[in-house]
Copies of this chain bind each other. A is one copy, B any other.
Amino acid sequence: MRGIVTFYLTYLLCLMLGITCVALVAHWNYSYRGGFAWDGSVKQFNWHPVFMVTGMVVLYGNAAVLYRIPLTWGHNKLPWKLLHAGLLLLSFVLSVIGLCAVFDYHNANHTANLYSLHSWVGICTTALFTAQWVMGFTAFLLPCTPMTARALVKPAHVWMGGIILVLGIVSCISGINEKLFFALKGNTNGTLPYSALPPEAITANALGVIIVAFGLVVLKILSNQIWQRPEPGYEEGVYQPLGYDGS
């Protein structure tokens, strides 16, 4: 009982941090960066952080902890599997739109693509996410996949799930940091430089810190063994930990 109360308090924190991330990234780009458009201008670039933070971090993190919600344990697993896969597909689609926003903006302005370390880590994260979704679909949703194969793939699937979240956070923090150095040069357009910590810098730095906090709460939920969905075939109360490779 105490474990369930602690779970829901932690889950509430996770939801609140996630909503704050989405609100802050939208507020930053709407109020300080000039808002949104899809016209090759910097307003198109502004979709990039919004879609990446919302898709690759917040929606992804929420999809990852879905099976940990005790409310879902009493039911057939299939609808929750479909919701898990569906949320991650939506997270993937949002991430791809976020990537299109920046590639399109670069191409329209004859700027090179994929040269910064941020972009290298980001594109590797997206590639891993794609592979993870396809592997997950093949292993856990195709009815022809034998149970033995599922059991074999599961620890790697769960471990990779956590790692992709970590890489998504690395990408977001390096990207927000880079954008603030680009945007807040000071003097040229009447804005204060980044080093003077104007309100925009505080807002976007706070967004970065809250993204990290959200990621840590998700990783904490994933790593706590007693919050894992009880699977048939194990002794009551002794669930096989999914967060490590016990092979």
Contact A223:B245 (CB < 8 A) given known A121-B173, A177-B178, A180-B117: yes
Partner of A241, one of B163, B197, B208, B225: B225
Question: What is the count of identical protomers in the complex?
Answer: 2
Q: Does A20 contact B (CB under 8 A)?
A: no
Decide if B244 touches A223 in the complex (CB within 8 Å). Answer: yes
- B residues near A159, Cβ cutoff 8 Å: 220, 223
- B residues near A243, Cβ cutoff 8 Å: 223, 243-244
Interface size on A, residues (CB 8 A): 46
Q: Does A143 contact B (CB under 8 A)?
A: no
- B residues near A71, Cβ cutoff 8 Å: none
Decide if A219 touches B163 in the complex (CB within 8 Å). Answer: yes
Decide if B245 touches A224 in the complex (CB within 8 Å). Answer: yes
Decide if B117 touches A196 in the complex (CB within 8 Å). Answer: no
Q: Does A167 contact B (CB under 8 A)?
A: yes
Chain A residues close to B by CB (< 8 Å): 111-112, 115-118, 120-121, 124, 159, 163, 166-167, 169-170, 173-174, 176-178, 180-182, 194-197, 201, 204-205, 208-209, 212, 216, 219-220, 223-226, 241, 243-247
